[in-house]
Amino acid sequence: MSNNKQSSVEWFLNELIKEGYIKRLPVTQLQQAKAMHKEEMINFTTDWYHNGLLSLGVLVSTSVEEHYNKTFDQ
């Protein structure tokens, strides 16, 4: 099963291009940004799973948002 959703990084860069703020982005920079985003999501999920879900048996929907806010200082 394939899930080809656009990442938030890709969406944001496409918006900047569409609005004329940047002409284009070198492929290597786009690949680096996507790789960084992927690593952040994997690290976030792993940390939430081990330190949130398994530790206290908290509500999944509530704990994910709380963990996100703590992780990314929101």
Q: Mind listing the pLDDT tens digit for each residue in 21-48? A: 888 778 888 888 888 988 988 888 887 7
Q: Mind listing the pLDDT tens digit for each residue in 44-61? A: 888 777 776 666 655 565
- In this structure, are residues 17 and 25 in contact, taking their beta carbons and an 8 Å threshold? yes
Amino acid 56: pLDDT: 62
Amino acid 41: pLDDT: 85
Tell me which of 29 and 67 has the higher pLDDT: 29
